[in-house]
Amino acid sequence: MASSVILAVALVAAVNLAIPTLAASELRPSPSQILWIVDAYVIVFACLLIPAGAAGDRFGRKGVLLAGLGVFAAGCLLAALAPDVGTLIAARAVSGAGAALVMPASLALTVGVYPAAERGHAVAAWTAATGAAGVVGNVGGGAVMEYLPWRALFGVPVLLAGVLAVLVAVLVPRAPRLASTPLDLPGTVLLTAASVALLAGVIEGPEDGWGSGFVLSAFGAAAVLFCVFVGHQLRAPRPLLDPRLFALPRLRAGTLGVAVTFFGLFAMFFVNARFLQEVKGFSPLVTGVAIVPLVLPMIVLSRLSARLPARPAVPAGLAGIVAGLVLLSFADAALPYPVYAAGLAVMGAAMGVCLPVLSHEIMAALPRERAGLGSGLNSATRELGSAVGVAVMGTVMATYGMSAGYRVVAAVVLAGGVLVTWWRTRD
């Protein structure tokens, strides 16, 4: 299960590492197309996670996991053969759909095989794997970009997904199905359309102008579609995600906390590779290795944080993420790498403290038979936060520079952390 989720998440980090090479490739993508190459995967991933979790509950989590690995591999193969930017973006969206099937099924299967007393540690191990995936993507992607053409970045995951599919088929036990689990297709379409409209406005703003008809229409459409989605969910007999669930303080705080954590992390991933390669002059492989100081404290502290109470762990962790982002905002060509690595280590330690606790809060707020919904919601908030973080960082950086991007992202995480802490005190 850990390997499956590492593969799904690592591809996001690996593509961020490949941005300088993709920008100079024969496809010649524009700056906004670069953002779509990154975010097409992430936004489809995010929007399909909740229905994918429900599908696992209804049709069987093992079968959904196998289907997800197959769709993921098909999208990667199409990306490796893409003749133009449009095909590459579409292929990334297909891979994101496969990743969406993989992620909640992997967590739900993990939770299902452990007794209640050990479930917190199991969730912590799975969470550590998602954190480690960023480094696996950076190091593995760096090795591929160092020695192979950029198309191999999408070809290698095809082989890995095939190996994992065989292992899942042989080793993973089947879980009980819940035939009554709702599959809200209209809700899924509304949520996806609203999210794409929001990102379209953020991504196209720098090129088209923030007052352009397209950008204003995109933001307006996003607002209307999100309102229609909420209204549909309140009326639907079997909603995709009942908004009334967010009356639970633990669920509300957990989802926002996970979202702002990954907002900060993937904003950093997006700019990290370009800074280290274009400003510091690192090779792709060295750039991938240079992210390691982020993951080591994250892995160590993720295993220990399952024993920590939520009230001090969550605000301390989110404050540490803000501190790490502020430290990274001072990075320039003259900054020694050890100082830069210290900022990464602060972020990694902070995530290791708060992220497993936040994920467990989401899962614990729902009954065990809705583990698929809980894992889908947990994963969706991660990926939505990641997609918006990439879009916001790319947009601010294009207009005002990297330092301003880091400070804007830090301000968003700080505001989210204050709100999460306040909600937790109401539980």
Average pLDDT, the chain: 86
- Report residue 180's pLDDT band, with 50, 70 and 90 as the boundaries: low
Find the length of the chain: 427
Encode pLDDT of 126-159 as tens digits. 877 876 787 788 888 888 988 899 999 999 999 9
**What's the rounded Cα separation, in Å, for the pair 71 and 7?**
13
**What's the rounded Cα separation, in Å, for the pair 108 and 120?**
13
Does residue 56 register a pLDDT over 90? Answer: no
**What's the rounded Cα separation, in Å, for the pair 151 and 171?**
31
**What's the rounded Cα separation, in Å, for the pair 405 and 99?**
28
Q: Which residues contact 199 (CB under 8 A, 6 or more apart)?
A: 39, 43, 387, 388, 391
**What's the rounded Cα separation, in Å, for the pair 367 and 365?**
7
Least confident of 110-124, 214-228, 261-275: 110-124
Mean pLDDT for the stretch of residues 243-270? 88
**What's the rounded Cα separation, in Å, for the pair 387 and 269?**
11
Does residue 280 register a pLDDT over 70? Answer: yes
Walk me through the domains of the chain, giving residue ranges and CATH numbers: 2-173+185-425 (1.20.1250.20)
User: How many Cβ atoms from other residues are within 10 Å of residue 330's Cβ?
Assistant: 13
* One-letter amino acid of 272: N
